[in-house]
Amino acid sequence: AQTVTQSQPEMSVQEAETVTLSCTYDTSESNYYLFWYKQPPSRQMILVIRQEAYKQQNATENRFSVNFQKAAKSFSLKISDSQLGDTAMYFCAFGPNFGNEKLTFGTGTRLTIIP
Amino acid sequence: DVKVTQSSRYLVKRTGEKVFLECVQDMDHENMFWYRQDPGLGLRLIYFSYDVKMKEKGDIPEGYSVSREKKERFSLILESASTNQTSMYLCASTTGGYRNQPQHFGDGTRLSIL
């Protein structure tokens, strides 16, 4: 069974700074998907970024980028030029390549952007 | 845009009651999921369904059941609610097939069992 570990329960940074959220996972599969989801306070969970394990290039979405280290089973999220709207819970998730689309989520990191 | 609608944002019930949480999606997605979210535990999968009338247990199915009679609707049932089922419940949906497509979530139902 896969496991996903987020070792930082809470983080805070000043607005406009760069912050990196850590995620490690454990799997015996060679191909899979990794996700970062964002859950703003009292709002809907949304996808931030998605990485396919067979792609070596790190995924990027505007100010959000990942550092995917397959051998180390590490998948960190970097948020550049952080904004107040980035304040949220961030969840890392693992998804298999085949089968039923089940995701395994980490325990989350609560990120606060300080004005 | 995909819309996943959960019937209630907040719900208060008493122990022993039978509780129904409803979820509807409007994008003809094959897969639907029910999660429970608790502080420090993240999201844990209760049940999921990959087709009408099809269901599979997730990681914590005890005390719950589900129903999917129509493709767009997935219901979570607490057969006899207990205080340890007080939690945030999230519904999600995604299209089926390979390549693990992103899940789309509802707003969540914060359920309190008294």
Q: pLDDT 10s per residue in chain B (114 long)?
A: 769 999 999 999 999 999 999 999 998 999 999 999 999 999 999 999 999 999 999 999 999 999 999 999 999 999 999 999 999 999 999 887 656 678 899 999 999 999
Q: The tokens 């999606």 sit on which residue? A: B25
pLDDT given at position B98: 59
CB nearest to A45's CB, from B90, B94, B101: B90
Do A10 and A112 contact (CB within 8 A), yes or no?
A: yes
State phi, psi for A41 to the nearest 5 degrees. -55, 125
Q: B56 to chain A: which residues are within 8 Å by CB?
A: 100
Region of residue A100 (left: phi > 0; alpha: psi -120 to 50; beta: else) = alpha
Radius of gyration of chain A (CA): 14
8 Å CB contact of A46 and B105: yes
What span, in angstroms and rounded, lies between the C-alpha atoms of B57 and A112? 35
Amino acid, single-letter form, for residue A71: A
Q: For residue A109, what are the contacts with CB-CB under 8 A and spacing of at least 6?
A: A6, A8, A9, A10, A11, A21, A22, A89, A90
Interface test with A, best of B29, B43, B56 (most A CBs within 10 A): B43
pLDDT given at position A63: 96
pLDDT digit string (tens) for A58-88?
Answer: 999 999 999 999 999 999 999 999 999 999 9
pLDDT given at position A43: 87
Radius of gyration of chain B (CA): 13
The SS3 of residue B27 is coil
pLDDT given at position B99: 66
Name the residue among B3, B15, B4 with its Cα closest to residue B111.
B15
Distance of CA B108 to the CA centre of its chain: 9
Do B32 and B91 contact (CB within 8 A), yes or no?
A: yes
CB nearest to B105's CB, from A32, A33, A44: A44
Do A62 and A79 contact (CB within 8 A), yes or no?
A: no
Which segments in chain A show pLDDT lower than 50? none
Residue of B nearest to A50 (CA): B102
